[in-house]
Structure 1
Amino acid sequence: MKRVVITINRQYGSGGKTIGYMLAEKLGIPCYSREILQRASEESGINESMFNARDERLKRLPKFLLSTNVYSGELLPPESKEFTSDQNLFNYEAEIIKKYAAEGSCVLIGRCADFVLKDDPDMISVYVHADHDFQMKSALERVSMSEKEMEKYIERTNKYRSDFYHYHTGRNWDDAENYDLCINSGKLGFEKTVELIESYINIK
């Protein structure tokens, strides 16, 4: 199979991550999600907990949505005062995304991978979304919460993903113009969503 890199951004409860792993298995290629942070930690020498703490900190930052620090590709060295800054932590994640893509075909979940690889001609960007009821049903099957708690959790998670994407790319997370494919998994289900992405790969 010709090299292909599929990036997936997804609403919480849409099954985008599951779809990514299903697609990767069907194509016989690796899928990377949390592995991006783990490898970024290993190669930078920065404890993985700092990457996780950064995510939690940004979730609580009131002005996060309004600010941007668009990724430009620069990596700061260990002697820099900004070595463990939020932006440089993302820079290391982006470096790992580029390394995974350079190693061959793969599926990459989240972390603004579509923007990091925007100049890669073999990259296909996908945005997976679903209606409220599907998100709720899918999420409640995996996490034990009341419906009210889950509604708030989905809203917070999707807001954070949107803010994170805007912060590092200057783009709107749910803007269809940013993606090759926008798919409503609630209408198609996981297996048919995988089939649709695979069909697009074959056509392209």
Structure 2
Amino acid sequence: MENYVVTFARGFGTGGKEIASKLAKELGIHCYENRILTLASQMSGLDEKLFQEVNEKVRSNGGFSSFLKGLPRAKSYISRNEKFVSDDKLFEYQKQIIENLADTESCVIVGKCADYILRGRPNIVSIYIEAPRDFCVKRTMEHMGVTEDVATATIVHTDKFRADYYKYYTHGNYWTNPVNYDLTINSEKVGIEDSVKLIKDYMKIKGIIK
């Protein structure tokens, strides 16, 4: 069977990462999220901290070059005498990793605009996980051990980062637009385990898995 990729976009606190991980485990394939940052760092020769700084965020304070200026011995972060002038270059490295993964193996990819990057390819299933705010707040409080106010603020800010990032790197597309995805799932109503089952059933309908 040909390679396939399941991409996940998710609201903070929805359980989207857990669903993605469980799906990958049941399918016997890798789940990539922050490991993409590690791979991009290895490929580029740049410190992984630079990729973490722009992980699904768009910076408004001068971006990559501004960040470098604030680092001691900033030149140590540059390899092969390349000059980097914006966070766009960091995104391009991540994009190359995502494309290489799709070329070489079946996998699950969480975030990073993967649905947009891989659009038009065969055997790509794009999932969006969302849930009501109360559900997300409760999950965040439980998983992070924080107060309701902190959980709410974390959700609001993280989802804004992800939406802005998606809009910027997909040239104006909206992160929450259901047209971008094969399935949009309410994880509160469907549940974590049944969300995994639902996605697998859809993949069977599409003939991607048996």
Shorter-chain TM-score range: 0.7 to 0.9
TM-score (normalised: structure 1): 0.87
Partner of 1:203: 205
Number of paired residues?
A: 190
Partner of 2:193: 191
1:172 counterpart letter in structure 2: Y
Runs in 1 of length 4+ with deviation above 6 angstroms?
none
Partner of 2:41: 41
Q: Which protein is bigger by CA-based radius of gyration?
A: 2
Residue 106 to residue 55, structure 1, CA distance change in 2 (3 Å): closer
* Equivalence map 1:95-134=2 (5 Å): 95-134=96-135
Partner of 1:176: 178
User: What CA distance in whole angstroms lies between the structure 2 residues aligned with 1:111 and 1:78?
Assistant: 26
User: What CA distance in whole angstroms lies between the structure 2 residues aligned with 1:87 and 1:199?
Assistant: 37
User: What CA distance in whole angstroms lies between the structure 2 residues aligned with 1:93 and 1:149?
Assistant: 30
1:180 counterpart letter in structure 2: D
Matched, 1:32 2:43: no
Residue 176 to residue 91, structure 1, CA distance change in 2 (3 Å): same
Partner of 2:67: none
Partner of 1:11: 11
Q: CA deviation at 1:138?
A: 1.2
Residue 56 to residue 14, structure 1, CA distance change in 2 (3 Å): closer
Q: CA deviation at 1:176?
A: 0.5
Q: CA deviation at 1:164?
A: 0.5
1:163 counterpart letter in structure 2: D
User: What CA distance in whole angstroms lies between the structure 2 residues aligned with 1:55 and 1:193?
Assistant: 26
Residue 173 to residue 78, structure 1, CA distance change in 2 (3 Å): farther
2:126 counterpart letter in structure 1: S
Higher alpha-carbon deviation: 47-56 or 24-33: 47-56
Q: Secondary structure at the match of 1:120?
A: coil
What's the CA shift string for 1:32-75, capped at 9, x where partnerless? 0011000000011011011122349735x38x9xxxxxxxxxxx
User: What CA distance in whole angstroms lies between the structure 2 residues aligned with 1:54 and 1:132?
Assistant: 25
Q: Secondary structure at the match of 2:121?
A: coil
Partner of 1:142: 143
Identity of aligned residues (%): 40
Higher alpha-carbon deviation: 130-139 or 38-47: 130-139
TM-score (normalised: structure 2): 0.84
User: What CA distance in whole angstroms lies between the structure 1 residues aligned with 2:132 and 2:34?
Assistant: 26
Partner of 2:161: 160
Residue 14 to residue 5, structure 1, CA distance change in 2 (3 Å): same
